[in-house]
Amino acid sequence: MLSSKKTTLAFALSAATALLFSACGDGVNDASSSSAGNSPTNSPAPTPDPSKNGAISLHGIVYGAADTSVPTGAGVPITMMGQMRALFDLIRKSSDFTQVVMDLGDGSPVHVLDTNTGDKFLPGKLALGLSWILIDMKTKGDPAYADYLATYQKITIAMMTQMTGSNYTYANTSWGEYYYLVALNNFQAHGMLNEVFSDAMLKTLQARLNFCDMFGADASGKTDTCPAAGTPIDVASLNTAQNYYAVSYGIAGLRQKLGWSNPTFSSTTDATVATMNARDALLYTLTKHIRNDSSGGFSDEASNTHTTYYDQARYDRYSTLLIGEVTERTLEMGNQANLTPELKSYLRNSVNLILPQLNTNGEGFNYGRSIGPYGDSAFMEVLTAAANAGVLTDQEMKVAYTYIYKSALRFSNFWYDPTLPTPSVNMWVKGRGTDSYRGKPRVMGENFSLLHQYMYVNAWWDKLGFNGKAPLSDTDMQAYLDALPHYTLTWYNQPTDTAHPYSAALITVRDGKRVINLNLSQAPDYNSYTPYYPAPSSDNLAYGTTDLGYALLIPQVTYNGKTYIPVTYYKNLNVQETNGQVVVTFDTAKFRQAAKNALYTTDLDLQVHTVMTFSKGTMTRTDTLSSGTLTGNLAVETDYTSFADFQNTTANSDGYSVNYTNSPATNYAAMGFDSCALSQFDTVNGATNPLSTTPIGQLHSNFACTTNPFALTGGATRKLSWTLKYADPA
């Protein structure tokens, strides 16, 4: 049973909050004092065999041996540097790089470097990803360096100068500009900038790599042309999501580090902006966004397009990651003097949200959009930023490093698939699915950006003194995790925040090795999709499908021919641990129409009181529906979809329960419904069912329970519930 002692997660900031900056201003301290101290238990950590070049280490997985090959015992098919080199070779060996094809074995190979991939960051991703190889080859005096450099320069000329009419053939906006500037600064740090780029190309790059495409608009709705010198840009004119302030901040800071000038900013609401350089004005504006859009220091990712409290509150992976990215940008541009105590407190809040979710398998976010490998790497990036900003304890440093090692191991053995016709990260085939934003035509760019994340993180931990060091043993890591509270309640908006009267919070429950998240987020632009439902998310047990919705573990209502779901307007959230159980209760004031960006005028006057109970190996949800005004009949459906294979899934004779084998789920039972039906879920009419392809793999069976039409008049209520039983992860 779970302990009955109620606990909370309250990590105090370390007394030693000084930044780990080196005297030369590279943002880190080469000394290993930050990692000193005892491990979480007295059990010794595994010691790498010197003959294996630190194989049991983050560096061993990411960089490998001196020639970037896999060290003996590293446990991966190829190092990440090896993956990057293979992609470079794929491009280099093609007579026309625009015709390079990546084949994921699904019958539709992709021309990954043509102009129609939909990846407007592609030139920057290539410039940055391939720069890792060039720098490594140059440093080692590799005789093939000149050949690879020539390929790099050919790509640069084609992508950054060729025009179609008045437009560049290849778009390279926002993130692409930032990525490119990271590459330029890395080349400069290694004395290679003027060797890789001619003066004329640097002049072209200086003109193209700016943040102006994110601000203002011309007759076509957007412009990447900066105003004339001396003409300021209104800092409030950002024409994309609020988190792009961080991207523009990175661009401005890295331009400044190169000695390039930036446009200036003005503000219609805050004259302070006009007194700052662009880098600092953007950080100032970004800080205000985080401060004002949640009382917990998390970024509301819906606030750029919605203006009232009930429209806001999309909290997901990026809400937690943003402050980690801001910290990383601040360090890489040498702006650490502006990493204020306020920003570090926000970073610590993100750490406090992440720590209870850690595990020995390297798994990250399991709810919200753009997760999959990015869900894992988001934990890694936040923890790395926190390590560099001095907001982790010595023990937490070891725990963070161990998680990151496990994340790299998971990337190399789960997300990367060497058996594909073109070895690649896999987010698209073999039962996996991702957001349309990261569609398969972007596969080349996704490989580069993910590999870069691990490479830069490894470089930081090398400088922090962990080069070649072993992680904690699984025993020690699990002992640390077992000592964490059984539940953690993280408020995005505090209940006392009158500007945000609806509850927005994350509840994380730990049951042995299993991590279960219940995310309550209004998400107006995504709440019709399962990853944003107020339903539990847990690895290989309960998982949403990107960009799609169905009645996954919630009471989905049909009324007057339309479908409604309880996915916003949460109130009265309460979490208690009593008698060995974690009990979560909350009310939902209205049901929303099940459509993306549904109008609020279509809300249904239907209320539900929800009780979720978590105990050892079991979770139960009970929903009590009521309404004071509905006069017609409504019907309810709730589904549970399982990763267990359909052939070994058995519906019981009671008609309301199912048994599973070879799966973490062992039994699911529903109560209060009129009928239930078990069906195969992975295919429809011989084709893959798109609802079945989650980021981590395919769902195979569905157990759908429904009611007959009924009325809720005269104060009537209807109680519906389900119970899911599961085994502890291996």
**What are 62-88's pLDDT values in tens digits?**
999 999 999 989 999 999 999 999 999
DSSP track, 32-71: SGGG-S--SSSSPPPPPPGGGTS-SSHHHHHT-STTSPPP
- Give residue 598's pLDDT: 82
Half-sphere exposure of 556 (CA within 13 A, CB side): 23
Mean pLDDT of the residues in the chain? 89
273-277, 300-304, 452-456, 584-588: least confident range:
300-304
- Give residue 205's pLDDT: 96
522 and 300 Cβ atoms separated by less than 8 Å: no
| DSSP structure class, residue 227 | P
> What number of other Cβ atoms are within 10 A of residue 352's Cβ?
16
Instruction: Say yes or no to pLDDT of 478 above 90.
Output: yes
Beta bridge partners of 71: none
Query: Quick one: pLDDT band at residue 2, thresholds 50, 70, 90?
Result: very low
Instruction: Say yes or no to pLDDT of 596 above 90.
Output: no
d(C-alpha 284, C-alpha 364), whole Å: 30
Which tops the pLDDT comparison, 155 or 313?
Answer: 155
Please give the structure tokens belonging to residue 495.
Answer: 């209940």
- Give residue 25's pLDDT: 33
Candidates 39, 30, 37, 45; CA nearest to 16 is 37
Half-sphere exposure of 307 (CA within 13 A, CB side): 0
Domains of the chain and CATH, by start: 115-187 (no CATH), 487-726 (2.70.98)
If you average pLDDT over residues 186-200, what whole number do you get? Answer: 97
Strands (E), 496-546: 504-511, 514-520, 536-537
Please give the structure tokens belonging to residue 699.
Answer: 């769902």
- Give residue 47's pLDDT: 52
Instruction: Say yes or no to pLDDT of 7 above 80.
Output: no
557 and 680 Cβ atoms separated by less than 8 Å: no
Helix boundaries (H) for 259-393: 278-293, 317-332, 341-354, 373-389
Element (H, E) at 578: strand 570-578
Query: Quick one: pLDDT band at residue 289, thresholds 50, 70, 90?
Result: confident
- The rounded percent of the chain whose pLDDT value lies above 70 is 90
Residues 6 or more apart whose Cβ sits within 8 Å of residue 1: 580, 581, 615, 616
Task: Count the residues in the chain.
Answer: 730
Distances from the Cα of 85 to the Cαs of 68, 79, 135, 438, 692, in angstroms? 9, 10, 12, 23, 34
Write down the pTM of the prediction. Answer: 0.90
169-178, 210-219, 497-506, 653-662: least confident range:
210-219
Instruction: Say yes or no to pLDDT of 15 above 70.
Output: no
- Give residue 730's pLDDT: 67
36-45, 336-345, 535-544, 673-682: least confident range:
36-45
Strand order in the sheet with 504-511: 487-493, 504-511, 514-520, 536-537
> What number of other Cβ atoms are within 10 A of residue 198's Cβ?
13
d(C-alpha 611, C-alpha 581), whole Å: 12
| DSSP structure class, residue 466 | I
Q: Cα 426–428–434 angle (5° rounding)?
A: 110
d(C-alpha 513, C-alpha 218), whole Å: 53
pLDDT in tens, 363-395: 999 999 889 999 999 999 999 999 999 999 999
pLDDT in tens, 249-270: 999 999 999 999 999 999 988 8
